């Protein structure tokens, strides 16, 4: 096909009212519903089901067997007009599921740009996913979860409804997250999830300087290893650390938390901090 065309495989089913921009590719046996809007150069592989009110940006890639825009798995949902909105350059591997929002929630599920969703990962209704995140195999979000930029969720981990994962955080495999995870941190395990310190490897990979990482580690020592409660630790951060992007991000995140933050220290972090 020319760059000004879109391609629909003969075995695919595309509603005549669906909107496909130039360069869109719809593969074998896929289904595209009436209210789907797909922007240029997005590739939809085989056996992909996209239905409901769905807006998909440019240069995304859906490999096979996924379900995008399905009804929210919420017993109160009764057919309201709600949305899935997806940005640009995301990759959705096999059997990924993304559900629409609910009218009692945000009314939409939103995914940003440059994210990678590995096989069997799931984003439930009313979730907000930022940019450049990685969902490893079977990573699962309950409803109303917020995921910051550059978050990495390892395989078979589950995040409870309404939790927030702060930017640059790392969730270890098989974790059960029931509280907010503060930015720049590593957590793992379930019941309880434990705090494993700064996500130093992830920060270095994303260009953080030694000085910036060192300053974050000092702040984490105040928050997690000073013997202060959370309110006292935040007050100390405000007094002893100059305002900057990282300090302000951490303080704002903690002060806006409704579920509390993951604070139980792992033995590894306790030893490292002594």
Rounded mean pLDDT of 165-182? 97
Q: So what's the pLDDT on residue 159?
A: 98
pTM equals 0.95
Q: So what's the pLDDT on residue 264?
A: 82
Is 125 tagged catalytic?
yes
Return phi, psi of residue 255, to 5°: -65, -25
Q: So what's the pLDDT on residue 117?
A: 98
Q: So what's the pLDDT on residue 271?
A: 61
**List 105, 143, 166, 189, catalytic entry:** 143
Helix %, strand %, coil % of the chain (to 5)? 20, 30, 50
Q: Is 24's pLDDT higher than 70? A: yes
Q: Exposed, middle or buried: residue 111 (CB in 10 Å: 0-12, 13-18, 19+)?
A: buried
Q: What angle do CA 155, 143, 254 make, to 5 degrees?
A: 85
**List 125, 149, 155, 172, catalytic entry:** 125
Spatial distance between the Cα atoms of 101 and 7, rounded to a whole number of angstroms = 29
**List 51, 74, 126, 180, catalytic entry:** 126
Spatial distance between the Cα atoms of 151 and 123, rounded to a whole number of angstroms = 14
Q: So what's the pLDDT on residue 131?
A: 98
Q: Is 266's pLDDT higher than 90? A: no
Rounded mean pLDDT of 220-248? 95
Return phi, psi of residue 257, to 5°: -75, 135
Among the listed residues 146, 152, 194, 154, the one whose alpha carbon sits nearest the alpha carbon of residue 169: 152
Rounded mean pLDDT of 170-186? 97
Is 126 tagged catalytic?
yes
- 7-147 and 208-273, same CATH topology: no
The confidence band for 272, taking pLDDT boundaries of 50, 70 and 90, is low
Write out pLDDT tens, residues 82-128.
999 999 999 999 999 999 999 999 999 999 999 999 999 999 999 99
The confidence band for 270, taking pLDDT boundaries of 50, 70 and 90, is low
Write out pLDDT tens, residues 133-162.
999 999 999 999 999 999 999 999 999 999
Rounded mean pLDDT of 11-15? 98
Which fold would CATH assign to domain 7-147? UDP N-Acetylglucosamine Acyltransferase; domain 1 (2.160.10)
In the chain, where are the structural domains located?
Answer: 7-147, 208-273
Rounded mean pLDDT of 238-244? 96
Q: Is 49's pLDDT higher than 90? A: yes
Quickly list H helices, 79-209: 200-205
Q: So what's the pLDDT on residue 255?
A: 97
Q: So what's the pLDDT on residue 111?
A: 98
Rounded mean pLDDT of 160-169? 98
| Average pLDDT in the chain | 95
Rounded mean pLDDT of 235-250? 97
User: Which top CATH class is 208-273?
Assistant: mainly alpha
The confidence band for 269, taking pLDDT boundaries of 50, 70 and 90, is low
């Amino acid at each position: 096909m020319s760059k000004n065309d879109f391609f629909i495989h003969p075995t695919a089913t595309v509603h005549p009212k669906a909107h496909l921009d130039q360069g869109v590719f719809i593969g074998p046996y896929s289904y595209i519903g009436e209210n789907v809007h797909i922007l240029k150069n997005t590739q939809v592989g085989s056996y992909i089901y996209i239905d409901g009110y769905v807006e998909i940006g440019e240069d995304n890639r859906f490999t096979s067997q996924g379900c995008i825009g399905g009804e929210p798995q919420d017993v109160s949902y009764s057919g309201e007009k709600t949305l899935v909105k997806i940005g640009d350059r995301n990759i959705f591997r096999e059997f990924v599921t993304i559900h629409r929002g609910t009218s009692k929630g945000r009314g939409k599920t939103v995914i940003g740009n440059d994210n990678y969703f590995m096989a069997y990962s799931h984003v439930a209704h009313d979730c907000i996913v930022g940019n450049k995140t990685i969902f490893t195999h079977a990573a699962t979000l309950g409803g109303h979860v917020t995921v910051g930029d550059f978050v990495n969720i390892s395989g078979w981990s589950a995040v409870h409804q309404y939790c927030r994962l702060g930017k640059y955080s790392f969730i270890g495999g098989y974790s059960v997250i029931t509280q907010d995870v503060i930015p720049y941190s590593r957590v793992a395990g379930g019941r309880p999830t434990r705090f494993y310190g700064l996500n130093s490897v992830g920060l270095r990979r994303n260009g953080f300087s030694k000085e910036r990482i060192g300053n974050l580690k000092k702040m984490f020592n105040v928050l997690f290893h000073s013997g202060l409660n959370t309110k006292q630790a935040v007050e100390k951060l405000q007094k002893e650390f100059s305002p900057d992007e990282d300090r302000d991000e951490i303080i704002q995140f903690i002060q806006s938390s409704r579920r509390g933050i993951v604070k139980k220290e792992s033995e590894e972090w306790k030893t490292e901090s002594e």
